[in-house]
Structure 1
């Protein structure tokens, strides 16, 4: 039998390539956060409009188009879908840097969301086909460190470029790496063999996912975590600039180190811990990891937002920021394990759909609206208190993860049946 082209590439190298694509995805997505104050001053828009730009303008297209693209990924070449999507959002990130009007920037962000919708579900599906359940949380966590790498580069390079060359140059610089990775993906990325053929009949009906009760609660838990992560991340640079008088370069450097080093270590470690816990007590223990991480992180947000000393605020941010993506590896691994292999991309897309509508769509928007509503009373410090909405969402994720863990064994039994 003829061997499939590309099977000689080590699976670790494929995961690293997919993680690099995820990093570029996050660079293009989060570069906006570090240049938000520059955009506000140039176009003279409110925090509500900034929240709209960061959230719904991107999230509606990103979340909605994820489903049809994931359906195609369950039936067609996942590697080609990833390469095409990567090229699309990289080009549209370049277009953001050319926007002369605020509405043009909004449209460009919408189309960036169109491209980014295609990489996540297909990548998660490929990683799950490369690794067995006992190693899956670690593999998905390594893939998910792309979030931290992307945020690190977006904060550090974006802040420095924006201060020295303008916010448009930051967008242009963010779009170029994706085009390079597109060429690399076309050359070396190939689909691994799927565990089963494309879904047909009863298995293809999404009702099966609805009957997996743990899946429902994982989706809700990750939506709350995403609300917190996206909402807070979008406005942290603006908060430090307004309330502590820091510059974009300074903010970018500090949070690049926290998000990149602390966050990368936290994301990998929680995935590894989840795998070790699952081997001892079952896959349901994966979900205890994000619950415990949220419990640990929540108290540290209080001094970060309320301290009048910048050193105290930065020190307090280390723990919660490092744990902000801790839910990704364990939750992805659990979803991919309780889902039939032929439905994995769609299961990921539904989770991303709900998570991004609630998290990315509403997180920045709600915080922006609250900031504007509180401004007459609190002035420039209104954003300081508005971001507590993100803390509340993180705390609300805890019961969803705990309830989901309780239902995993029965859902695994249904899958086996």
Structure 2
């Protein structure tokens, strides 16, 4: 099978490694890829958002399956453009990708499908949004309606914080067009987890659960990031809970999307809060999380490529997917200054020593090669992953590997999966 993987981050490195392990693979390209992906795939200089060039490349190189890593090309219609050329794509159409592309649409869908979620209201007028906050009080969650690279959510502890978030999003356009509308919802209380299901339009199967750390600093302090680490599985996520999530959230969502004539194919990422009243949806994503994908792929058993292809072709019943009993932990190394301004171009050393450690896997996210050296080329630069019989064992291995890497311009949280 000839595969084109779209993206260039740690998630895509994890997917590339899983795909490369498949006996069905004959050729793997990645656009644009990174220094780590280049070791297992042919990288091509096409941006993940350049849908027209991606599809032209897939057509010209007789690609059998396009695998979408990030959400933006899906929202922009990558799967639709592939379908027009007769190319299978792992990922939903633009209409189905609205589950992530529009938080207002997701709330509408939840109401239709009776999916348990936070009470919410949508606004496209600044003054109306401010009036709602003043009438309802805090705490509240303010979300930009559109795609904001995982950063368009503010958990406001006070009315003032909520007002500032609304003005920043709607009036100051802090997230561009994504903030033209906002969704304001109640803050759910409980434990947050990430649940993944593979879907083929009608059928779905669970594909692991993970927990990530969004805040930049130890103790969950500082601004939100794209994710500073993850682990799988979270404690206490039982088979009964998995069955409840599938029955109350995943299956009703698939059925509602099919009724609308926009069946969902790909991976459905359900951000959940485990509340006293049961699991409730925080938000949908239409792709694997990053760094949750790295944690999941360390545990995935079987032919991942076959499973992705089955989703794209509506034949999920043809494959079996499961997670190994072992646990996994991923620690993200980021450039100093992230998620604010940061420098690029610094040299990273010690990667070979870290990668040689038992049950350790390195995932490149923001790297590039220059004169045989690996240089930092992004905010989140590396994911250091490890497995073990327990989360604690995997955590110890991951941090042992972190400690042999020499990169003075980088940093990480030291409490990923602590106490789990």
Q: TM-score, normalising length from structure 1? A: 0.31
Q: TM-score, normalising length from structure 2? A: 0.31
Higher strand residue share: 2
Higher helix residue share: 1
